[in-house]
Amino acid sequence: MSDSAGRGGNIGLFTASLLLCGVALNKVPSFVGPCARQPRLRLVRHAGDDEVAALLAQAKALREEAERDEAAMKAVRSAQEATEAAAAVEAAAAAADAAALKEAAERAQRAAAAASDGDVVAKARAELAAAKANLEMAKQEASGARKQPAATAPKTEGSNPSGRLEDVKMNYSGKVMTQAEWEDLSEKFKDMNLIEQFQTNSKVGPQGRRKLKALREGQTGRAFILPGERVRLLKEDNAFRAAFKRFPGQSLNGYTAEKWAKRGQECIIEKTFNDKTITCVFADGIRLDFPWEIVDGYVDD
């Protein structure tokens, strides 16, 4: 009996302990709970990220290359402007033309101002040209010189005693179409098929195509750079000088005092060249080379 009672008492104590634990657990505050785990940030690398980075790097390289090219082009322009300004000063000084000297000096000053600090040679050349122009103008003012292009003795070779442009002996390098032949061709052109029109345009060249088109449309007042064409040179001073900007002074196609004396005069185009220059013959038989831009009414379209 005593053993049974002892075992029963132990069981009772165990049961009471479990009940007390249950009560204690029920009294735990509601805010106490298991510790929540903080989410971990993960960097996800997409497959296109490398391609985007490569494109950005390529764009940066292209931008830097463009900047270098722009700087190089600016340096070339500065050098060209300085050279042309110096040539303009030389031509104006040779012609003893005060107005041309003043314009050339201003042009040289603009070229010097436009040149960057890195373009030392171009800046120095332009400044030297401006100084030379100013010196020449000072000499002219001191001596009382007046604006007078230098006179040139007429050439005897190829002279034309009658003084009529129609009587000048021409030395064409090939067959030259007359105005009547151009007008006849423009009428026939309308009835040609596409192949014949293409062949005709190829044969007469760009200026010939423009002339045919002008004849068909009844346009007037245009000048065309073709052998045999009778044209007039520009007369206005500034426009005449500006026509030589592609060529240095005193060169075959550049500005000279002899050419200055021909401004506003009529002449006949004897030859044309691929660098857009022409050989013109005047009524006195003199032959001179000019850029196409010298022809009054010429439009480069």
- Separation of alpha carbons 217 and 271, rounded Å: 27
Percent of the chain beyond pLDDT 90?
Answer: 18
> Is 7 within the bounds of a domain?
no
* pLDDT of 35 strictly over 70: no
- Give the helix ranges, DSSP H, for the chain: 2-26, 49-95, 98-114, 120-143, 179-189, 194-217, 237-242, 257-260
* pLDDT of 286 strictly over 60: yes
- Separation of alpha carbons 184 and 162, rounded Å: 31
- In sequence order, which residues have a C-beta less than 8 Å from that of residue 157 and are 6 or more positions away? 285
> Is 96 within the bounds of a domain?
yes
Are 101 and 136 spatial neighbours (Cβ–Cβ below 8 Å)?
Answer: yes
Tell me the residue type at 208.
Answer: G
Are 209 and 190 spatial neighbours (Cβ–Cβ below 8 Å)?
Answer: no
Burial class (CB in 10 A: 0-12, 13-18, 19+), 165: middle
* pLDDT of 182 strictly over 70: yes
If asked whether residues 169 and 129 sit together in one domain, one would say: no
Tokens of 84: 């042309």
Give per-residue pLDDT as tens, 159-171.
555 567 777 777 7
- Separation of alpha carbons 143 and 89, rounded Å: 19
* pLDDT of 158 strictly over 80: no
Confidence category of residue 88, pLDDT binned at 50, 70, 90: confident
Tell me the residue type at 145.
Answer: A
Mean pLDDT of the chain: 76
If asked whether residues 97 and 206 sit together in one domain, one would say: no
Query: What is the domain extent for residue 174?
Result: 165-294
If asked whether residues 187 and 236 sit together in one domain, one would say: yes
Q: What is the structure's pLDDT at 279? A: 93
pTM (two decimals): 0.46
Are 173 and 271 spatial neighbours (Cβ–Cβ below 8 Å)?
Answer: yes
If asked whether residues 138 and 172 sit together in one domain, one would say: no
* pLDDT of 152 strictly over 50: no
* pLDDT of 72 strictly over 50: yes
In terms of DSSP bridges, do strands 266-273 and 277-281 run parallel, antiparallel, or are they unpaired? antiparallel
Q: What is the structure's pLDDT at 148? A: 41
If asked whether residues 203 and 139 sit together in one domain, one would say: no
Are 259 and 293 spatial neighbours (Cβ–Cβ below 8 Å)?
Answer: no
- Residue carrying structure tokens 């206005």: 236
Domains in the chain, number: 2
